[in-house]
């Protein structure tokens, strides 16, 4: 019983991390059709901010966490202004390759100006202790992660449904020109989307850093790759799809970790991706894919 509860919680916390990141990717994609490969570098910016706080001898964990999230949001906003605005109207492939280039540049900037080696960050260890509920031992970090994701999803839903700006964001994913005709500034909608995306990346960064305890230039790569796969499985551009894909991926990954023998330990990701590929044979556009208009609009 204890074992099952633990594995379910494992699956939920893995899934929560992927869902957070996948949501950040999906909200940007739904509005401007941009596959943001640089999302992982936003996470790394958060990680390096923690390093900066540590070297300034600021130990207060609340300041460290808030600083990391703010830095991630700022970085996300800056990328939109500097790199993605010129390709705003371009086709998805152009946007994808731009983001890919931005990601390479940022990774190498970290390499050049900080260090190619991992740097330890110890200020977040306090998040992780083991708690006991009804005789079942759980890791607090996993509980926090799952709860945070649930709160974020609810908050995001309220924002998108109850506020004018949220409505504009949702409408922009359907018909951007129409939104502009109603007098809402395009730049503001893009800024909001990237801010939300950065916020989600910053939150994910806290949990990733609390678990890993160190930051290197490739910090964000692996989680974001998983988040991409989650987006593809859920249906690229669909927010519920991103959440569903994230949790599904978490469940498959934990199932693989439990079922695969120890000797195949290094191959977990390969098996996870293969199972995901099977889902894509069944539904090539993802499970909850939004309807795509391929022809000309009349």
Partner 1 sequence: MIRLSSSQKSGLVGAALLALVLVAIGLLTTYFGSRYQVRLVYSAYVNLIVVLGLQVFMGNARITNLSHSAFMGIGAYAAALCVTPENIKKISLPDAPWGLAQFSLDPVVSALIAVVITAVLAFLLGMLIVRLTSIGATIVTLAILVIIHAIFLYRTDIFKGNQAFFGIPQVFNLTSVIAIAIVVVIVCRLFRESRWGIQLRASADDEVGAAAMGVQIYRLRLIAWVLGAVILAVAGICYAYFLGTISARPFYFNHVFLTLAMLILGGMRTVTGAVLGTFLISFGLEGVRYLETGPVFLGIDLPEALGLSGIALGAVIVLTMALRPTGIMGNREIETLFVRQRH
CA geometry: angle at 276 spanning 146 and 33, to 5°? 80
Residue with structure tokens 């395009």?
Answer: 186
Shorter beta-carbon distance to partner 1: residue 65 or 252: 252
Nearer to partner 1, 220 or 286 (CB): 286
Q: Does 83 bind partner 1 (CB under 8 A)?
A: yes
- Which residue is listed with tokens 């230039």? 217
Q: Token pair of 93, please?
A: 């492939």
**Interface pick for partner 1 out of 60, 108, 182, 187 (rule CB under 8 A):** 108
Stretch that binds partner 1, among 62-70, 126-134, 142-150, 288-296 (CB under 8 A): 288-296
Regarding 292 and contact with partner 1 (CB under 8 A), the answer is: yes
The answer to whether 11 touches 250, Cβ cutoff 8 Å, is yes
Give CA–CA dist 29/140, Å, rounded. Answer: 33
Q: Which residues of 260-278 are buried (b: 16+ CB within 10 A; e: fewer)?
A: eeeeeeeeeeebbeeebee
If 0-12 CB within 10 Å is exposed, 13-18 middle and 19+ buried, where does residue 258 land?
exposed
Residue 45, both tokens: 């910016």
Instruction: Report, in Å, the least distance between residue 84 CB and partner 1.
Output: 10
Q: Which is nearer to partner 1, 89 or 137 (CB)?
A: 89
Sites for partner 1 among residues 207-236 (CB under 8 A): 225, 228-229, 231-232, 236
Which residues lie below 8 Å from residue 6, measured CB to CB, with a gap of 6+? Answer: 136, 137, 138
Is residue 286 close enough to count as binding partner 1 by CB under 8 A? Answer: yes
Identify how many contiguous H helices and E strands the chain contains and give both numbers: 11, 4
Question: Which residue has tokens 């678990």?
Answer: 211
261 near partner 1, rule: CB under 8 A: no
Choose which of 266, 291, 297, 298 interacts with partner 1 (CB under 8 A): 266
Minimum Å gap between C-beta 93 and partner 1 is: 6
Query: Do β-strands 119-120 and 130-133 pair in parallel, antiparallel, or remain unpaired?
Result: unpaired
Q: Which is nearer to partner 1, 52 or 280 (CB)?
A: 280
Give residues 21-80 in contact with partner 1 (rule: CB under 8 A): 29, 35
Q: In the complex with partner 1, which residue's Cβ is closer, 106 or 199?
A: 106
Judged by CB under 8 A, does residue 275 bind partner 1? no
Residue 122 CB, nearest approach to partner 1 (Å): 26
Nearer to partner 1, 151 or 277 (CB): 277
Specify the residue for token string 């090539």.
284
Strand partners, 120: 214
Query: Nearer to partner 1 by C-beta: 26 or 179?
Result: 26
What are the residues binding partner 1 (CB under 8 A)?
Answer: 29, 35, 83, 86-87, 90, 92-94, 96-98, 100-109, 111-112, 116, 225, 228-229, 231-232, 236, 266-267, 269-270, 273-274, 276-277, 280-281, 284-286, 292, 294-295
């Amino acid at each position: 019983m204890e074992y099952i509860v633990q594995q379910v919680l494992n699956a939920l916390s893995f899934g929560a991390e992927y869902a957070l990141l996948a949501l950040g990717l999906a909200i940007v994609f739904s509005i401007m059709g941009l596959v943001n490969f640089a999302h992982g570098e936003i996470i790394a910016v958060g990680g390096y901010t923690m390093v900066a706080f540590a070297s300034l001898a600021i130990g207060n964990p609340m300041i460290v966490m808030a600083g990391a999230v703010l830095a991630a949001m700022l970085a996300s906003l800056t990328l939109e202004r500097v790199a993605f605005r010129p390709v705003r109207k371009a086709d998805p492939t152009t946007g994808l390759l731009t983001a890919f280039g931005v990601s390479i540049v940022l990774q190498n900037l970290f390499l050049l100006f900080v260090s190619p080696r991992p740097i330890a960050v110890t200020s977040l260890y306090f998040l992780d202790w083991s708690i006991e509920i009804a005789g079942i031992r759980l890791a607090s970090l996993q509980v926090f992660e799952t709860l945070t994701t649930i709160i974020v999803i609810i908050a995001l839903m309220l924002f998108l449904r109850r506020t004018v700006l949220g409505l504009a964001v949702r409408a922009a994913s359907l018909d951007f020109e129409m939104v502009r005709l109603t007098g809402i500034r395009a730049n503001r909608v893009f800024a909001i989307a990237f801010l939300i995306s950065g916020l989600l990346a910053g939150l994910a960064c806290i949990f990733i850093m609390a678990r890993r305890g160190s930051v290197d230039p490739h910090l964000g790569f692996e989680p974001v790759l998983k988040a991409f796969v989650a987006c593809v499985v859920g249906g690229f551009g669909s927010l519920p799809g991103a959440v569903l894909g994230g949790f599904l991926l978490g469940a498959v990954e934990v199932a693989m970790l439990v079922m695969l023998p120890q000797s195949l330990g290094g191959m977990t990701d390969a098996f996870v991706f293969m199972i995901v590929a099977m889902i894509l044979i069944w539904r090539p556009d993802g499970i909850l894919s939004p309807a795509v208009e391929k022809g000309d609009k009349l």
